[in-house]
Chains A and B, each alone.
Chain A
Amino acid sequence: MCGIVGLFFKRGAATQALGPLLAGMLSQMRERGPDSTGFALYGDEAPPGAFKATLRAPDGGYDWAAFEGTLANAFQVVCPARKYGSHAVFTIGSDPEPVFGWFAQHHPELDIFGFGERIEVFKDVGLPDAVSQRFALEQRAGTHGLGHTRMATESAVTTEHSHPFSTGPDLCLVHNGSLSNHNRLRLSLRREGIRFATDNDTEVAAGYLTWRLRQGMSLTEALEAALADLDGFYTFAVGTRDGFAILRDPIACKPAVLAETGDWVAMATEYRAIATLPGAAGAEIWEPRPATVYSWHRQ
């Protein structure tokens, strides 16, 4: 099963409307994925020369203040960290690579769930309303966001195995389905320098897109290449810094609904998640065609 939602405002600055609307959509997908819930938000931009990293600690009682102190000795911490229990968002004035090297050496207990100029990624075991509340989703602004409720089939029910998966700057992916050639593909992508944190099949699809984008492909080209290289069942929703895309496999057993108005594009596994949005009744609504890339970019 699994449930996917995505909401993309076509223009304008980050809006406070995003968090509550995404939380409402996720809530409707509760029955499709009671194991875990996750979401990615594209919020305020990091200042030039800095990047945002969403870090996840082993437990909610982690001493983020102490960590922030040691981090500030090694790198410039551009603005105060935002802390949400086990997760925290840091804005760091550096290239990401030296910071990740420092994390690996000094704080191997932390997971990096997402990094880039705008992305923030939160995920945990639990039902959508509880996870949304845990990470204050209803108070969060952004221009677009993706969410996922998981019913696990291919790997364990843990926070690390939850979606979204983010394997490159500002890129994230949520997936309904299962991939059958992920082990072999993971090996070849590792040789290309893509890092994987888990044995999850969806993380391989995210890593594949990161690799293709790194080669200079556009998001649409990367997804078209995925049609040839990924084997399995999938409906994907993908977020980038300024973009949003949907792809279903050629058999298209995994459901998907798209809706578009003058203001927004929304995607969900079932229409009932879209029905919660303002203007849904007047939206253009359709089922995305198999093996067809749909993508939108903010101007």
Chain B
Amino acid sequence: MIEVDLAQSSVRELNQRLHRIGPGDNEHHWRVVNPNGAHAVAVGLTAPVHVEIKGHVGYYCAGMNASAEVVVDGHAGTGLAENIMSGSVRVRGNAAQSAAASGRGGLVVLEGDASARCGISMKGVAIVVGGSVGHMSAFMGQAGTLVVCGDAGHDLGDSIYEADIFVAGKVASLGADCMEKEMTPADFDRLADLLGRARMAADAARFRHYGSARRLYNFHIDHAAEY
């Protein structure tokens, strides 16, 4: 276990140390203390390390994460795990707006609530929220899965392409071109598997499935002659 105290060390020094970890290195467990809302903590990791951050972080924590497992034992500010590629990011508290924005892969678990625009422009990431999400979550989602164990705010899945959304609680309103869809046995299995991987004790049978109505973005064959 390597401990880095952000009251003593800068975020840049921490991130550079994490970036320098090579394939043969044995520095797998890191613990970061006194983040005090610092921005860009543990950004751009590419090694399969475990980083636990004790306290609240500022903006863009664990952005562009690949392979690493990052745990925030506190709340997270705007843009948590933005553009995550793989690995996992877990927040034990709440996350501010735009969590997991444009994420391409990996798993983001928010044990508390997420604010507005959770999973905006998601491109393959799996997001599991233990609480509720704010308005315009999964806005323009292109691929991936957003699971909400609580409620969803207004305009859920607005202008969505092909991501899947599962919500256990109430949905304030659906956004443009987002509709409720059938929960197939395959969807159910995928959801149950994801809840298990997120270690979220929610019953998959309580969820409803939402996705794209495919009326907004599709090229319409009747208009082919216009081009």
Give residues in A with beta carbon < 8 Å to B.
252-253, 255, 257, 270-276, 281, 285-287, 289-290
Contacts and interface: CB of A to CB of B under 8 A. Distances in A.
A273 B58 CA distance: 10
B5 to A, nearest CB: 14
B134 A272 contact: no
Interface string B86-122: 0000000110110000000000000000011000000
B37 A255 contact: no
A272 B94 contact: no
Contact of B37 (A252, A272, A290): A272
Interface of B: 36-39, 55-56, 58-59, 75, 77-78, 93-94, 96-97, 115-116, 134-135
Contacts of A289: 134
A288 to B, nearest CB: 9
B97 A252 contact: yes
A255 B95 CA distance: 12
Contact of B96 (A272, A274, A287): A287
Contacts of B94: 285-287
Given A252-B135, A273-B37, A287-B115, 15 more contacts: A252-B115, A252-B116, A270-B39, A270-B58, A270-B77, A271-B36, A271-B37, A271-B77, A272-B37, A272-B39, A275-B36, A275-B56, A287-B96, A287-B97, A290-B116
Contact of B135 (A272, A274, A286, A290): A290
Question: Is chain B's binding surface mostly helix, strand, loop or mixed?
Answer: loop
Contacts of B78: 255
B61 to A, nearest CB: 11
A255 B96 contact: yes
A287 B36 CA distance: 16
Contact of A272 (B38, B75, B116): B38
17 contacts: A252-B97, A252-B134, A252-B135, A255-B78, A255-B96, A270-B39, A270-B59, A270-B77, A271-B56, A272-B37, A273-B37, A276-B36, A285-B75, A285-B93, A285-B94, A287-B115, A289-B134
Contacts of B77: 255, 257, 270-271
Nearest to A291: B135
